[in-house]
Amino acid sequence: MAGEMKVSVSFLLEFPGGDMAVTAAREGELYDEDKEKHPESTNARCVEMTGIIGPDGKELPWVKYVEKVIIYSNEPDSLKLGEGEVVEVGLTNEIPDTWTKTKQVLVAKAIPPFTVEGLRVAGLI
């Protein structure tokens, strides 16, 4: 069990016609998939995000365009996402047992703070 941890998450979106976008990084919570509740799940971990549901409790329309989940971390091994060429996470909202989608995950280096040293580490100066 890897346990729960706070992470920064953004989404790679792909729209009809091929346009792509990346959302701004927001806080999410990474936790172990409950294999007893979801034995069909192929992912070891899930990301819970607030604000990806509409006021009626349904998912927001843009969620269907999520192609990949990007998790920012300085310690990618601590995320315990699983093994293999394609690693996936479940994507859920804050309302328990409403829905989950399995999406491919990318792990990226954490976004450095906007200091001269942080910009240097990011290779921007």
Beta bridge partners of residue 47, listed in sequence order: 30, 91
Question: DSSP letter at 94?
Answer: S
Q: What is the mean pLDDT of the chain?
A: 81
119: confidence class by pLDDT, cuts 50, 70, 90: low
Look at residue 40 in the predicted model and tell me its pLDDT.
77
Helix/strand/coil for 76? helix
Spell out the domain ranges in the chain. 5-121
Parallel, antiparallel, or unpaired: how do β-strands 88-92 and 45-48 relate? parallel
Q: What is the pLDDT of residue 115?
A: 64
Q: pLDDT tens, 24-64? A: 888 999 988 877 777 777 888 889 988 887 777 777 888 88
pLDDT of 113 > 70? The answer is no
pLDDT of res. 13 = 92
What are the tokens at 117?
A: 């040293």
- Are the beta carbons of 46 and 9 closer than 8 angstroms? no
**From CA 45, how far away is CA 54, in angstroms rounded?**
24
State pTM to two decimals: 0.79
Give yes or no for residue 91 having a pLDDT over 80.
yes
